[in-house]
Amino acid sequence: MKKLVIAIAVTLLIAATAKGQDKLFTQYNVSPVLYNPANAGLIDGDYRVSANFRRERYISEFAKFTKIGALSFDMPLLHNALPKGDALGFGVFGVTGKLGTIWGVENADIGLSLAYHKSIGRDKARMRHLSVGFQGVRTQFSEEYLDYSSHGPLFNKKIYKSQPYTELNMGINYTEKINDKVAVASGYAIGHAYLHNFHKNIYDDHIQITHTFNVSANIDLSKRIVLNTNALCRMRYELKPESIINATAGYVFNPGKEQSTILYIGCAMQYKSSYREVAPNIGLECKNVRIGFSYNDIIKSDFDMIGGGDHGYELSLSVTGKAKKNPSNKWGVPKVY
């Protein structure tokens, strides 16, 4: 219980001081509550703490690097008081990062998610859940740049502006354990961000809508080989779609045990409006802890370069905990991420 309280406190502290950007990582499946509120608490455990960190370097005078980190916490609630197989879900996250050197962009993301997970059917061999979630995000957007309208570089002024906006997200998710070897999931989320812009003495208020689709599957090919595939596509207002496709194979060192040690090796492809990335990755899962690393190589960009030095890396960590007083407290959620 003490560890649980500490985990919640640390996550809330990070969320309260976060300065962030984009929440889309190539290892997005480590922190599923970031992109769909219906995933909050959808775990076979008592809580989950997840962290992602991403750093990229660009060969451009305007954006030399990008640093972004995220920390999330979620847990199921009342699964002993609700109908069998049902549960509430709670989640909170914070994102911190910065883009640029000559000019910079920062924004503070604080998110809170609530979900309800409804069990479908009574067949123990086929675990099925339909989840619905809601999420509120408060963002403090900050931008810093140089004003070149003055005469000469000595008279250039550094301009700083900051503005808040609110985002409301809704999501739905379906998970099913088809048999002892195959589990699948699919989800959809829609976000409404109310943007309040002020540019050249003109107020420009509008709603930005974001659609996010995701699918995933976890397959036990044999006692020692597992396969995990997942894909995500996000479409934003007036922007081109961006998507991620990831496939990972895992080797189980101790098959048959409830908490296995698994070595994962795979690769992800990320498609954005201005470039594409190839991200080979490696991960290790031991008991309830999973760590991962990926090298992100930008193979096409708007700067007309192919493999011209634009690259980055990602680190991820996920910890799923169980209460000591009730270690066998399971409400039937398959492993799909």
pLDDT in tens, 292-312: 999 988 665 544 444 455 778
- Select from 80, 83, 176, 76 the least CA-distant residue to 133: 76
- Both tokens of 301, joined, read 């960009």
User: What's the CATH number for 2-321?
Assistant: 2.40.160.60
Domain ranges of the chain: 2-321
pLDDT value at 203 more than 90? no
Distance CA 46, CA 24 (A): 25
pLDDT value at 172 more than 90? yes
| pLDDT band for position 273 (cuts 50, 70, 90) | low
CB 263 within 8 A of CB 273: no
Q: Give the per-residue pLDDT at 72.
A: 93
Q: Which helix (H) or strand (E) holds 160?
A: strand 157-177
pLDDT value at 266 more than 60? yes
